[in-house]
Amino acid sequence: MPLVRSKRDNMCYYEQYRFECGDWKWGNFKRHCQSEYRMGETCGMKLILHTLPVPNKCQWCEKIDKKTRRYEKTRADYGRWYQDPSRQASAAKALEDMHALAGEIKTIQAERQSRMQNVGNVRRAAPQSRAAAQA
Protein backbone atom coordinates (compact mmCIF):
# COMPACT_ATOMS: atom_id res chain seq x y z
CA MET A 1 0.00 0.00 0.00
CA PRO A 2 1.61 3.25 -1.10
CA LEU A 3 2.07 5.75 1.64
CA VAL A 4 1.24 9.21 0.46
CA ARG A 5 3.38 11.75 2.19
CA SER A 6 2.26 15.28 1.65
CA LYS A 7 2.00 18.53 3.46
CA ARG A 8 -1.53 17.69 4.37
CA ASP A 9 -0.56 15.81 7.42
CA ASN A 10 -3.21 17.29 9.58
CA MET A 11 -6.22 15.36 8.47
CA CYS A 12 -7.66 11.96 8.09
CA TYR A 13 -6.97 9.25 10.61
CA TYR A 14 -5.71 10.01 14.03
CA GLU A 15 -5.44 8.28 17.30
CA GLN A 16 -7.74 9.48 19.97
CA TYR A 17 -6.95 9.57 23.65
CA ARG A 18 -9.86 9.14 25.96
CA PHE A 19 -9.44 10.21 29.54
CA GLU A 20 -10.98 8.72 32.62
CA CYS A 21 -13.27 11.72 32.96
CA GLY A 22 -14.76 11.08 29.50
CA ASP A 23 -13.00 14.03 27.85
CA TRP A 24 -10.64 13.29 25.01
CA LYS A 25 -8.00 14.74 22.74
CA TRP A 26 -6.48 13.92 19.41
CA GLY A 27 -3.34 11.83 19.32
CA ASN A 28 -0.89 11.20 16.49
CA PHE A 29 -1.73 11.39 12.86
CA LYS A 30 -1.92 7.85 11.52
CA ARG A 31 -2.90 7.73 7.91
CA HIS A 32 -4.72 9.45 5.10
CA CYS A 33 -8.26 8.51 4.41
CA GLN A 34 -9.71 6.99 1.26
CA SER A 35 -11.46 10.09 0.05
CA GLU A 36 -8.27 12.08 -0.02
CA TYR A 37 -6.62 9.23 -1.81
CA ARG A 38 -9.12 9.29 -4.64
CA MET A 39 -9.62 12.99 -4.98
CA GLY A 40 -6.09 14.04 -4.28
CA GLU A 41 -7.20 16.80 -2.02
CA THR A 42 -7.77 17.35 1.61
CA CYS A 43 -10.70 15.70 3.18
CA GLY A 44 -10.51 18.38 5.85
CA MET A 45 -11.68 16.09 8.56
CA LYS A 46 -10.13 14.26 11.40
CA LEU A 47 -11.27 10.72 11.79
CA ILE A 48 -10.62 8.39 14.63
CA LEU A 49 -8.44 5.43 13.81
CA HIS A 50 -8.64 4.01 17.27
CA THR A 51 -9.18 5.11 20.81
CA LEU A 52 -6.56 4.74 23.48
CA PRO A 53 -7.74 4.90 27.05
CA VAL A 54 -5.75 7.16 29.35
CA PRO A 55 -5.89 6.17 33.02
CA ASN A 56 -6.24 9.66 34.39
CA LYS A 57 -8.38 12.72 34.03
CA CYS A 58 -7.74 15.40 31.45
CA GLN A 59 -5.72 18.45 32.45
CA TRP A 60 -8.82 20.57 32.91
CA CYS A 61 -10.56 18.10 35.17
CA GLU A 62 -7.34 17.67 37.15
CA LYS A 63 -7.13 21.43 37.63
CA ILE A 64 -10.79 21.67 38.54
CA ASP A 65 -10.35 18.88 41.11
CA LYS A 66 -7.38 20.62 42.64
CA LYS A 67 -9.18 23.96 42.88
CA THR A 68 -12.28 22.29 44.22
CA ARG A 69 -10.27 20.66 47.01
CA ARG A 70 -8.77 24.03 47.90
CA TYR A 71 -12.19 25.58 47.82
CA GLU A 72 -13.55 22.95 50.21
CA LYS A 73 -10.63 23.39 52.58
CA THR A 74 -11.00 27.16 52.54
CA ARG A 75 -14.70 26.85 53.19
CA ALA A 76 -13.99 24.61 56.19
CA ASP A 77 -11.49 27.18 57.49
CA TYR A 78 -14.03 29.93 57.05
CA GLY A 79 -16.60 27.84 58.90
CA ARG A 80 -14.27 27.60 61.89
CA TRP A 81 -13.14 31.21 61.83
CA TYR A 82 -16.13 33.37 61.11
CA GLN A 83 -17.58 33.12 64.62
CA ASP A 84 -14.25 33.64 66.32
CA PRO A 85 -13.73 37.36 67.03
CA SER A 86 -9.97 36.92 67.00
CA ARG A 87 -10.00 35.34 63.52
CA GLN A 88 -12.07 37.91 61.64
CA ALA A 89 -9.23 38.92 59.34
CA SER A 90 -8.55 35.28 58.49
CA ALA A 91 -12.26 34.66 57.92
CA ALA A 92 -12.49 37.63 55.57
CA LYS A 93 -9.44 36.43 53.69
CA ALA A 94 -10.90 32.92 53.41
CA LEU A 95 -14.11 34.34 52.00
CA GLU A 96 -12.13 36.31 49.45
CA ASP A 97 -10.19 33.18 48.48
CA MET A 98 -13.42 31.26 48.06
CA HIS A 99 -14.74 33.83 45.62
CA ALA A 100 -11.48 33.80 43.70
CA LEU A 101 -11.38 30.00 43.54
CA ALA A 102 -14.98 29.77 42.41
CA GLY A 103 -14.16 32.19 39.61
CA GLU A 104 -11.09 30.20 38.59
CA ILE A 105 -13.07 26.98 38.52
CA LYS A 106 -15.66 28.58 36.27
CA THR A 107 -12.94 29.81 33.93
CA ILE A 108 -11.36 26.36 33.63
CA GLN A 109 -14.75 24.78 33.02
CA ALA A 110 -15.41 27.26 30.22
CA GLU A 111 -11.96 26.56 28.76
CA ARG A 112 -12.58 22.83 28.80
CA GLN A 113 -15.97 23.36 27.21
CA SER A 114 -14.68 25.50 24.36
CA ARG A 115 -11.70 23.19 23.79
CA MET A 116 -14.04 20.27 23.45
CA GLN A 117 -16.21 22.14 20.97
CA ASN A 118 -13.25 23.22 18.88
CA VAL A 119 -11.74 19.80 18.66
CA GLY A 120 -12.60 18.65 15.21
CA ASN A 121 -16.13 20.07 15.35
CA VAL A 122 -17.51 16.65 14.55
CA ARG A 123 -17.01 13.13 15.52
CA ARG A 124 -17.30 13.26 19.17
CA ALA A 125 -17.02 9.56 19.29
CA ALA A 126 -20.32 8.09 20.12
CA PRO A 127 -20.08 7.08 23.72
CA GLN A 128 -18.45 3.76 23.22
CA SER A 129 -19.83 0.98 25.26
CA ARG A 130 -17.25 0.22 27.86
CA ALA A 131 -18.74 -3.21 28.20
CA ALA A 132 -17.96 -3.95 24.57
CA ALA A 133 -14.42 -2.64 24.97
CA GLN A 134 -13.82 -4.91 27.90
CA ALA A 135 -15.49 -7.96 26.44
Residue 2: exposure state from Cβ atoms within 10 A (0-12, 13-18, ≥19): exposed
* Minimum CB distance to Zn ion, residue 58 (Å): 3
Distance CA 62, CA 105 (A): 11
- Residue closer to Zn ion by CB (options 23, 36) is 23
- Residue closer to Zn ion by CB (options 23, 77) is 23
Positions that interact with Zn ion (CB under 5 A):
21, 23, 58, 61
- Residue closer to Zn ion by CB (options 126, 135) is 126
* Minimum CB distance to Zn ion, residue 42 (Å): 30
Q: Provide the residue type at 31 as one letter.
A: R
